[in-house]
Chain A
Amino acid sequence: QVHLVQSGAEVKKPGASVKVSCKASGYTFTSYHIHWVRQAPGLGLQWMGMINPGLNSTNYAQKFQGRVTLTTDTSTTTVYMELSSLRSDDTAVYFCARQTMAVWGQGTTVIVSS
């Protein structure tokens, strides 16, 4: 069975960075790209970018360009999303989702507060 399991909640100060993990299981890791989508409290879904673990290629939304970095570790079938220079409006639930978005992680809450 295909699963994406994300790391736990984080509380960060403004200006810091956060790194969220998404561990994949139940399928060939390098055959499907992974998206990252975030959702601020009470708001809608915002696509941040995606990574192809097989090619290690990335595609980022312009809004996050320069602040977000997606990486993979094929040995542990894990994808990482690092967001830097955090601001209060980065407070959100961050989701990973497999290629067609039929499978999602459970979400990771990131709170940015001084």
Chain B
Amino acid sequence: DIVMTQSPDSLAVSLGERATINCKSGQSLLYSSNNKNYLAWFQQKPGQPPKLLIYWASIRESGVPDRFSGSGSGTDFTLTISSLQAEDVAVYYCHQYYTTPRTFGQGTKVEIK
């Protein structure tokens, strides 16, 4: 199974400041034949299902604010919230869809400082 490891486990950021979450996979998620990274990011608020934010490591899902961005390739990926808003308080998960079993990171809780 591909192990996904996020850091940090929790993060407190002031409103309007940048939040950065890292995700490391146990093997490369870059598929050479199409040069795509099979990595997604989700946001989950209490009592709700996860919400897809980013796929192919850096493509924002329709409707997702542009303060959310994804970067990275291979085994190291980053989700950045450029200017944290109150509504961004949530747990964020990275997810690999390179192979089955699909696996998720353990989650990073983002709070307001």
Residues of A within 8 A of B (CB): 35, 37, 44-47, 50, 59, 61-63, 95, 97, 100-102, 104-107
Contact = CB atoms under 8 A, between A and B. Distances in A.
Contacts, number: 48
What is the interface of chain A mostly: helix, strand, loop, or mixed? mixed
B93 A102 contact: no
B103 interface: yes
A106 B49 CA distance: 6
Nearest to B103: A47
Given A100-B55, A105-B49, 17 more contacts: A44-B93, A44-B104, A44-B106, A44-B107, A45-B42, A45-B93, A45-B107, A47-B102, A50-B100, A59-B100, A63-B101, A95-B50, A101-B40, A101-B42, A102-B61, A104-B49, A106-B49
26 contacts: A37-B50, A44-B93, A44-B104, A44-B105, A44-B106, A44-B107, A45-B44, A45-B50, A45-B104, A47-B100, A47-B101, A47-B103, A47-B104, A50-B102, A61-B101, A95-B50, A97-B49, A97-B50, A100-B52, A101-B40, A101-B42, A101-B95, A102-B52, A102-B61, A104-B49, A105-B49
